[in-house]
Amino acid sequence: MYMSQSSKDFDPNKMVACTLVFEDSANDVNHQEDLLYRIAAQHNGMQAGAENGERGYLLTNNIAYIRDFGNEHYIMAESFETSIPWSRVLELCDRIKQRVKEEHALRKLPGNPFVTCRVTQVYDTGAAVYFYFAYFFKGVENPSEVYAEIEKAARDEILLFGGALSHHHGVGKLRKEFLPRIMSGKSLEWQTTIKNAVDPDNILGCGNLAIE
Protein backbone atom coordinates (compact mmCIF):
# COMPACT_ATOMS: atom_id res chain seq x y z
CA MET A 1 0.00 0.00 0.00
CA TYR A 2 1.21 3.48 -0.86
CA MET A 3 0.09 6.87 0.38
CA SER A 4 0.78 10.18 -1.32
CA GLN A 5 2.25 12.64 1.15
CA SER A 6 3.67 16.15 1.12
CA SER A 7 5.11 15.81 4.65
CA LYS A 8 4.98 13.38 7.56
CA ASP A 9 1.45 14.57 8.32
CA PHE A 10 -1.36 13.47 6.03
CA ASP A 11 -4.16 15.70 4.85
CA PRO A 12 -7.25 13.43 4.88
CA ASN A 13 -8.83 15.54 2.14
CA LYS A 14 -5.91 14.96 -0.23
CA MET A 15 -4.27 11.68 0.75
CA VAL A 16 -4.54 8.66 -1.53
CA ALA A 17 -4.18 5.00 -0.56
CA CYS A 18 -3.64 2.21 -3.06
CA THR A 19 -3.57 -1.53 -2.37
CA LEU A 20 -1.56 -3.61 -4.85
CA VAL A 21 -1.16 -7.34 -5.33
CA PHE A 22 1.79 -8.77 -7.27
CA GLU A 23 1.40 -12.17 -8.92
CA ASP A 24 4.05 -13.89 -11.03
CA SER A 25 7.39 -15.63 -10.61
CA ALA A 26 9.66 -14.41 -7.81
CA ASN A 27 11.94 -12.63 -10.28
CA ASP A 28 9.06 -10.90 -12.05
CA VAL A 29 7.47 -9.84 -8.76
CA ASN A 30 10.75 -8.39 -7.55
CA HIS A 31 11.07 -6.46 -10.81
CA GLN A 32 7.49 -5.16 -10.58
CA GLU A 33 7.94 -4.08 -6.97
CA ASP A 34 11.23 -2.32 -7.73
CA LEU A 35 9.65 -0.47 -10.64
CA LEU A 36 6.62 0.56 -8.59
CA TYR A 37 8.65 1.70 -5.60
CA ARG A 38 10.81 3.91 -7.81
CA ILE A 39 7.73 5.51 -9.40
CA ALA A 40 6.12 6.03 -5.98
CA ALA A 41 9.29 7.64 -4.64
CA GLN A 42 9.21 10.17 -7.48
CA HIS A 43 5.82 11.35 -6.16
CA ASN A 44 6.67 11.30 -2.44
CA GLY A 45 4.88 8.01 -1.97
CA MET A 46 5.29 6.10 1.29
CA GLN A 47 5.11 2.35 1.65
CA ALA A 48 2.53 1.51 4.30
CA GLY A 49 3.18 -2.23 4.49
CA ALA A 50 1.06 -5.24 3.68
CA GLU A 51 -1.01 -5.39 6.87
CA ASN A 52 -3.78 -3.01 5.77
CA GLY A 53 -4.14 -4.80 2.45
CA GLU A 54 -4.50 -8.10 4.28
CA ARG A 55 -7.14 -6.57 6.53
CA GLY A 56 -9.02 -5.44 3.43
CA TYR A 57 -9.17 -8.96 2.06
CA LEU A 58 -10.27 -10.23 5.47
CA LEU A 59 -13.07 -7.65 5.44
CA THR A 60 -14.28 -9.10 2.13
CA ASN A 61 -14.89 -12.40 3.91
CA ASN A 62 -16.78 -10.62 6.70
CA ILE A 63 -19.17 -8.66 4.51
CA ALA A 64 -21.93 -11.26 4.82
CA TYR A 65 -21.88 -10.88 8.60
CA ILE A 66 -21.96 -7.09 8.32
CA ARG A 67 -25.01 -7.42 6.06
CA ASP A 68 -26.76 -9.58 8.66
CA PHE A 69 -26.04 -6.94 11.30
CA GLY A 70 -27.44 -4.24 9.02
CA ASN A 71 -30.63 -6.18 8.38
CA GLU A 72 -31.27 -6.37 12.11
CA HIS A 73 -31.35 -2.57 12.08
CA TYR A 74 -33.51 -2.29 8.93
CA ILE A 75 -30.62 -1.46 6.63
CA MET A 76 -30.44 -3.23 3.28
CA ALA A 77 -27.30 -2.86 1.23
CA GLU A 78 -25.53 -4.39 -1.76
CA SER A 79 -23.04 -3.51 -4.47
CA PHE A 80 -23.12 -3.56 -8.26
CA GLU A 81 -20.40 -2.86 -10.79
CA THR A 82 -19.63 -1.86 -14.34
CA SER A 83 -16.75 -0.78 -16.55
CA ILE A 84 -16.50 2.41 -18.57
CA PRO A 85 -13.91 4.54 -20.44
CA TRP A 86 -11.82 6.92 -18.33
CA SER A 87 -13.39 9.99 -19.92
CA ARG A 88 -16.79 9.06 -18.44
CA VAL A 89 -15.93 7.72 -14.99
CA LEU A 90 -16.66 10.85 -12.97
CA GLU A 91 -19.86 11.76 -14.77
CA LEU A 92 -21.09 8.18 -14.50
CA CYS A 93 -20.59 8.27 -10.73
CA ASP A 94 -22.60 11.50 -10.47
CA ARG A 95 -25.39 10.22 -12.70
CA ILE A 96 -25.83 6.94 -10.84
CA LYS A 97 -25.89 8.66 -7.46
CA GLN A 98 -28.53 11.08 -8.74
CA ARG A 99 -30.65 8.31 -10.31
CA VAL A 100 -30.64 6.27 -7.10
CA LYS A 101 -31.68 9.32 -5.07
CA GLU A 102 -34.47 10.09 -7.52
CA GLU A 103 -35.76 6.51 -7.46
CA HIS A 104 -35.64 6.52 -3.66
CA ALA A 105 -37.63 9.76 -3.48
CA LEU A 106 -40.11 8.53 -6.09
CA ARG A 107 -41.05 5.63 -3.83
CA LYS A 108 -41.30 7.89 -0.74
CA LEU A 109 -38.98 5.61 1.19
CA PRO A 110 -37.94 6.56 4.74
CA GLY A 111 -34.74 8.46 5.44
CA ASN A 112 -32.06 9.22 2.87
CA PRO A 113 -30.36 6.64 0.67
CA PHE A 114 -26.67 5.91 1.03
CA VAL A 115 -24.95 5.65 -2.33
CA THR A 116 -21.25 5.85 -3.05
CA CYS A 117 -18.71 4.40 -5.47
CA ARG A 118 -15.06 3.61 -6.05
CA VAL A 119 -12.76 2.58 -8.86
CA THR A 120 -11.59 -0.99 -8.20
CA GLN A 121 -9.62 -1.99 -11.31
CA VAL A 122 -7.76 0.22 -13.76
CA TYR A 123 -6.83 -0.36 -17.39
CA ASP A 124 -5.28 1.69 -20.19
CA THR A 125 -8.66 2.55 -21.68
CA GLY A 126 -10.96 2.64 -18.68
CA ALA A 127 -11.85 1.40 -15.22
CA ALA A 128 -14.15 -0.85 -13.27
CA VAL A 129 -16.45 1.11 -10.97
CA TYR A 130 -18.25 -0.35 -7.96
CA PHE A 131 -21.40 1.26 -6.59
CA TYR A 132 -22.68 0.72 -3.07
CA PHE A 133 -26.31 1.42 -2.24
CA ALA A 134 -28.09 1.09 1.10
CA TYR A 135 -31.44 2.23 2.39
CA PHE A 136 -33.55 2.11 5.56
CA PHE A 137 -36.47 -0.25 5.01
CA LYS A 138 -38.43 -0.21 8.27
CA GLY A 139 -42.12 -0.16 7.36
CA VAL A 140 -41.42 -0.83 3.66
CA GLU A 141 -43.38 -3.67 2.07
CA ASN A 142 -41.30 -6.18 0.10
CA PRO A 143 -37.98 -4.39 0.78
CA SER A 144 -35.93 -6.84 -1.28
CA GLU A 145 -38.10 -6.21 -4.33
CA VAL A 146 -37.88 -2.45 -3.80
CA TYR A 147 -34.11 -2.68 -3.61
CA ALA A 148 -34.03 -4.73 -6.82
CA GLU A 149 -36.18 -2.13 -8.60
CA ILE A 150 -33.82 0.70 -7.66
CA GLU A 151 -30.74 -1.29 -8.63
CA LYS A 152 -32.38 -2.10 -11.96
CA ALA A 153 -32.99 1.62 -12.52
CA ALA A 154 -29.32 2.30 -11.76
CA ARG A 155 -28.31 -0.40 -14.25
CA ASP A 156 -30.55 1.25 -16.83
CA GLU A 157 -28.73 4.55 -16.24
CA ILE A 158 -25.36 2.82 -16.59
CA LEU A 159 -26.34 1.43 -20.00
CA LEU A 160 -27.83 4.76 -21.12
CA PHE A 161 -24.48 6.39 -20.38
CA GLY A 162 -22.42 3.76 -22.20
CA GLY A 163 -21.29 1.61 -19.29
CA ALA A 164 -20.96 -2.16 -19.53
CA LEU A 165 -23.70 -4.50 -18.35
CA SER A 166 -21.15 -6.02 -15.99
CA HIS A 167 -17.43 -6.03 -15.36
CA HIS A 168 -16.65 -9.41 -13.78
CA HIS A 169 -19.84 -10.32 -11.89
CA GLY A 170 -21.37 -11.63 -15.10
CA VAL A 171 -24.97 -11.39 -16.24
CA GLY A 172 -26.91 -14.26 -14.69
CA LYS A 173 -30.58 -14.09 -13.83
CA LEU A 174 -30.46 -10.58 -12.35
CA ARG A 175 -29.31 -8.85 -15.54
CA LYS A 176 -30.37 -11.14 -18.38
CA GLU A 177 -33.33 -8.92 -19.28
CA PHE A 178 -30.79 -6.27 -20.37
CA LEU A 179 -29.08 -8.57 -22.89
CA PRO A 180 -31.21 -7.40 -25.86
CA ARG A 181 -29.91 -3.89 -25.20
CA ILE A 182 -26.28 -4.87 -25.60
CA MET A 183 -26.55 -7.75 -28.10
CA SER A 184 -28.10 -7.78 -31.57
CA GLY A 185 -30.90 -10.14 -32.53
CA LYS A 186 -28.44 -12.24 -34.52
CA SER A 187 -26.09 -12.45 -31.54
CA LEU A 188 -28.90 -13.71 -29.34
CA GLU A 189 -29.90 -16.16 -32.07
CA TRP A 190 -26.31 -17.42 -32.22
CA GLN A 191 -26.35 -17.80 -28.43
CA THR A 192 -29.52 -19.87 -28.67
CA THR A 193 -28.06 -22.10 -31.34
CA ILE A 194 -24.88 -22.76 -29.38
CA LYS A 195 -26.83 -23.40 -26.17
CA ASN A 196 -29.15 -25.91 -27.83
CA ALA A 197 -26.23 -27.67 -29.52
CA VAL A 198 -23.99 -28.16 -26.49
CA ASP A 199 -26.67 -28.36 -23.79
CA PRO A 200 -29.92 -29.70 -25.26
CA ASP A 201 -31.27 -30.62 -21.81
CA ASN A 202 -30.64 -27.09 -20.48
CA ILE A 203 -28.55 -28.20 -17.53
CA LEU A 204 -25.71 -25.66 -17.62
CA GLY A 205 -26.46 -22.15 -16.36
CA CYS A 206 -30.17 -22.97 -16.26
CA GLY A 207 -32.27 -19.82 -16.50
CA ASN A 208 -29.29 -17.49 -16.92
CA LEU A 209 -29.79 -16.58 -20.56
CA ALA A 210 -32.24 -14.23 -22.21
CA ILE A 211 -33.26 -17.03 -24.56
CA GLU A 212 -34.84 -19.07 -21.78
User: pTM score, two decimals?
Assistant: 0.74
**Looking at domain 71-168, which CATH architecture does it have?**
2-Layer Sandwich (3.30)
Domain boundaries, the chain: 2-49, 71-168, 171-212
Question: How far apart, in whole angstroms, are the C-alpha atoms of residue 198 and residue 29?
Answer: 40
The verdict on whether 74 is a catalytic residue reads no
Q: Which residue has the higher pLDDT, 158 or 195?
A: 158
User: Where do the H-state alpha helices sit in the chain?
Assistant: 26-42, 51-72, 89-106, 143-160, 172-175, 179-182, 185-198
Catalytic residue among 130, 132, 135, 147: 130
85-124 per-residue burial string, b: 16 or more CB within 10 A, e: under 16: eeebbeebbebbbebbeebbeeeebeeebebebeeeeeee
CATH T-level topology, domain 171-212: Vanillyl-alcohol Oxidase; Chain A, domain 4 (1.10.45)
pLDDT in tens, 113-156: 999 999 989 999 999 999 999 999 999 999 999 999 999 999 99
pLDDT tens profile 22-73: 888 999 999 999 998 898 888 878 887 788 778 877 877 787 788 889 999 9
